Amino acid sequence: MPKHSRSLALCLAIGLGALAPVPALAYPGSGSIRTGETYVVRPGDTLWGIAAHFLRNPWAWPRIWGHNPQIRNPNLIYPGDRIVLTLSASGQPNLHVHVVEIRPGMGVQPIPSYHTGIIMPFLGSPGVTPSRKAYDALPHLAAAPEHRLAYAAGNEVYASGIGRTPRGTRFSIVRLGSVLKRPGSPRGLGYTLEQLGTAELVHGGPHPMLRILASRREIHLGDRLEPLPEATVPHFFPDAPAHAVSGQIIARMSSYPEMMTGQVVVVDQGKNAGLAPGNVLEIFSHPRPALDPATGKPYDIPPQKTGLLMVFRVFPRVSYGVITAATRGIVVGDAVRNPAGHDAHFKDTTAP
């Protein structure tokens, strides 16, 4: 990558990692911003974690880079590059990238925008279907040259409904999973799709045949097919949603009853509510009743901010999000809404 392209790297690609504790910086104008503060990129870093070195709200740094009009390219940065905080003549803080020369053959790879092991499995999974009707409309496994009670890797099966699909196309084999609902509500927001395995189109025509490549569970005729998405690593542009969003966490993707940083959850708002990948939401504990010992009357404890999540995959009525910060265990039923005070960018060393 040319040096000038790499120097534009830091502006847009934001990830989901974390760094070791680093010195805090101050708000603009507080008198305690240490100009020349430098961070050297290391192997294993992520761009979200590097942002946390400089910013109170790491997800807000695209707003800071908005003051650097020369930065346009969302390329990644490399170990050894230096990120420096400076002040312009007008006192405006700026973050600059000073690159190191990468000689051919050094084998140095750009750092990822986030730890791919956290959310890549959910980007490549079948995800959510909005209704049973939509599930029934998916292509399906219709027949097989040899009748079996169940099918597994290596077996060949005929498909119906895949249309003119190129040979070699790969599919997820899926089955309707659990319905997604808000706690206490009978109304479904969609269904999870359980991934049973993968298959590849051997030949098309009037009787298209698939070869099952891998199976997690028994596969039956009648199971549905979804094209397997290409495993590309996306870049996110963190920001608050464009519209007011108020919802709650309705499901978790782990077996833990309480969730912390790095875990994936399902939120009851999606594309229909204006959410987009990269949107950041604050998490609040749901109100709990208490008893005032002096009066003996109920006292409603207000919701407490407990964390932050970033949406990374959006469906019509629900979204997947990853928890990027948590001050206590987060549970299904906790509320999410637009972040407040997200213009406070830089860390403050003068605050108590």
Give the pLDDT band of residue 231 (cuts 50, 70, 90): low
- Residue carrying structure tokens 């860390």: 347
Query: What band does 303 get if pLDDT is binned at 50, 70 and 90?
Result: confident
More confident residue, 158 or 114: 158
**Domains and their CATH numbers in the chain:** 125-227 (2.40.10), 246-337 (2.40.10.410)
Q: Are 160 and 140 in contact (CB under 8 A)?
A: yes
Question: Residue 180's beta-bridge partner residues?
Answer: 190
Instruction: Compute the distance between CA of residue 23 and CA of residue 350 in angstroms, rounded to an integer.
Output: 12
Return the higher-pLDDT residue of 11 and 165.
Answer: 165
User: Whole-angstrom Cα distance, residue 275 to residue 144?
Assistant: 42
Task: Mention every residue, 6+ apart, whose C-beta is less than 8 A from residue 126.
Answer: 172, 174, 193, 194, 195, 226
Rounded Cα gap, residues 55 and 346, in angstroms: 4
pLDDT digits (tens, 9 = 90+) for 68-124: 444 444 456 678 877 777 666 776 666 666 666 654 445 566 666 566 667 777 887
Please report the pLDDT score of residue 93 as a whole number: 60
Compute the average pLDDT of residues 331-344. Answer: 80
d(CA 318, CA 129): 10
Predicted pLDDT of residue 208 = 96
Inform me whether the pLDDT recorded for 164 exceeds 70.
yes
pLDDT tens column, 29-63: 333 344 467 888 888 777 777 777 777 776 766 65
Average pLDDT (213-220) is: 95
DSSP bridge pairs for 246? 337
Q: How far apart are the first and last CA of the chain?
A: 44
* Cβ neighbours, 10 Å, residue 210: 26
Compute the mean pLDDT over every residue in the chain, rounded to the nearest whole number.
78
Distance between CA 254 and CA 263 in Å, rounded?
7
Q: What's the pLDDT at 115?
A: 64
Taking the C-alpha atoms of residue 100 and residue 36, their distance in angstroms, rounded to an integer, is: 17
Q: Which two tokens stand for residue 114?
A: 């986030």
Whether residue 18 has pLDDT greater than 80: no
Among 61-65, 150-154, 160-164, 316-320, whose mean pLDDT is lowest? 61-65
Distance, in Å, from the CA atom of 182 to the CA atom of 191, rounded to the nearest integer, reads: 13
Burial class of residue 213 (count of CB atoms within 10 Å of its CB; 0-12, 13-18, 19+): middle
The better pLDDT of the pair 319, 2 is held by 319
Residue type at 164?
R
Among 43-47, 59-63, 142-146, 330-334, the range scoring the smallest mean pLDDT is 59-63
Out of 157-161, 181-185, 284-288, 305-309, least confident range:
284-288
If you average pLDDT over residues 201-230, what whole number do you get?
Answer: 94
Give pLDDT, residue 39.
82
pLDDT value, residue 345: 46
Q: What are phi and psi of 288, to 5 degrees?
A: -130, 140
Cα 204 to chain centroid distance, Å, stands at 35
Cα separation, 118 vs 310, in Å, equals 12
Q: Which range is least confidently modeled, 116-125, 135-144, 149-158?
A: 116-125
The confidence band for 274, taking pLDDT boundaries of 50, 70 and 90, is very high
Residue 62: per-residue pLDDT: 60
The stretch 299-324 carries a mean pLDDT of: 91
Which SS3 state, helix, strand or coil, does residue 48 take? helix
Q: Is the pLDDT of residue 246 over 50?
A: yes
Distance from C-alpha of 38 to C-alpha of 198, rounded to nearest angstrom: 47
Average pLDDT over residues 285-289: 79
Instruction: Residue 317: count other Cβ atoms within 10 Å of its Cβ.
Output: 19
Q: What is the pLDDT of residue 211?
A: 98
At 153, is the pLDDT very low, low, confident or very high (cuts 50, 70, 90)? very high
Confidence of residue 138 (pLDDT cuts 50, 70, 90): very high
